[in-house]
Structure 1
Amino acid sequence: MRALKRILEGLLTVALLLVLAAGVHYRLFERGWFHLNQWHRGEPAEDASLWLPDYQVTIQGKVVRGIDDDLSALTFDPDRNSLIAVTNGNPHLLELSLEGDLLRAIRLVGFSDPEAVEYISAGVYVISDERRQRLLRVEVDERTTVIDAAHASQLSLGIDRNGNKGFEGLAYDKVGERLFVAKERNPVRIYEIAGFPYVAEAPAVHINQHQARLFVRDLSSLQFDERSGHLLALSDESRLVVELDGSGQPLSSLALDAGKHGLEQDVPQAEGIAMGPDGTLYVVSEPNLFYVFSKQAR
């Protein structure tokens, strides 16, 4: 009887340790605490934030025709009233309509692994090359058919280098002239870069770590909201969009799991997020899926 009791106690101890390990690995305790605080804050937080719980999906899992795989990154272009994305398997810069239709594809030459793209100004974008940890300023007009990395202004960084776990997301603050750069994982980080893409040489370029209180397993994309000054961080592995205030404090979240926000199925591999001028959120997922989330009136 004692032997059986000791065995049961040992099994219970192992089970508890496994639960604790899983909680730490998947950031479940921090995520749970955040959701509790989000619920507790309620209406005061809604008035001071985008309040992602009010968003519902209006287009879900639409296949982007003309793209087979590797649809990654997303940014809104206000001059063209369209979305810009990239593919990395067969590198291209893409233009999509706000309904998720492919409008244009421009071949990228000299890019090893383009993972993020961000609108800067009319015809000017920054593309991140993940493996080489470099940012490239490119210019595009109606006649552009090829973008060659050799002709682009570049900023190379060697921060926490870890193979294919480099720069996955970009966001730009036009007023503050700050470029936010997300490192995917190992470790998860958000950096602020001042100076680039208009200056590419030190000491004019300054890099700081953004003090974000993140509880996600990875980062795949960023979006800066000019109106609130808040940053949206997208995590593929956590299936979550988190809203961060100017000090990096998480305020609200949007889950990308089936049954949440009107989703019929999980978003399989969310890789890009962008926001339109009316607050509409656009999300792309590998291999070639397109989603739209709109804020619902209360």
Structure 2
Amino acid sequence: MSRTNGVNTGLPNITDMPSFLIAVEQLEEELIVLNANINTISQLQERSLNNIGDNRVQSDLDSLVRETKAMAQGLRTRIKEMESLRSNSREGQIRKRRVEILKEKFLQAMQNYRQAEQRFQSAQKAQIERQVRTVKPSATNEEIQAIVNDTSNGQVFQQALMNSDQLGKAKTAYRNVQTRHEELLRITQTMAELTQMMNDMALMVEQDQEKIAQIEKNTAAVEADTEKALNETRKARTWAEKAREKRKMCFIISVIILLIIAIALAIVFGRPQKN
């Protein structure tokens, strides 16, 4: 198994069952680390909200986000590789179930990560709104939404504060808003990547469900054909039994007829002849 920047990028030879189970354990351990990273990211995001000028917190957050996204992408790739090694044997069914569990855990982790990003996004927008109202209490909801959604490097914010009588606070607020806009852009990108990974994994789950549905459909068809064949066999057996009874009856009747003929002939030819 190869590793890049501490992240596994491939699977060992897992064609035999012991190697497969070892690989599953490794992925489960990495999923635990992934979830721990997500919790730490959430904590760092909360700290960054309250310490906007703390470069160390922001650096730690950016570094952990990069590491966690790379880990998630590696996990997704290796789970998909394991998915491709399934078979219809009993051992293959065990592999299939273990991979399904991995996919469910991965999806749950990505869902937790996306929820953390959504909370951070909402908090950043709320902070921007507070910054605006601090320097311009009369700002309308429309103005605030325009500033929150601004993609023009703060131009909307500058225009909104042109008539503010608190220029000192306005400059500080402008820098803070710019920083939060940059963070919002990073959040948007991260959420897009998480959504893509979740969609990929969800598609795999959906394809599995379609395969299962097809197998169940085929099984039902086989059962129906088997039942039909059994019914035909029962009918054939019944007809055969009736045919044997008829043959037996015909044989008995034939024997009786032959006996009657024999008795009649004996009587006729057994009488004394008159001279």
TM range (shorter): under 0.3
Larger helix share, 1 or 2: 2
* TM value normalised by structure 2: 0.21
For the pair shown, the structure with the greater C-alpha radius of gyration is 2
Quick one: higher RCO (CA 8 Å, sep 6+), 1 or 2? Answer: 1
Larger strand share, 1 or 2: 1
* TM value normalised by structure 1: 0.20
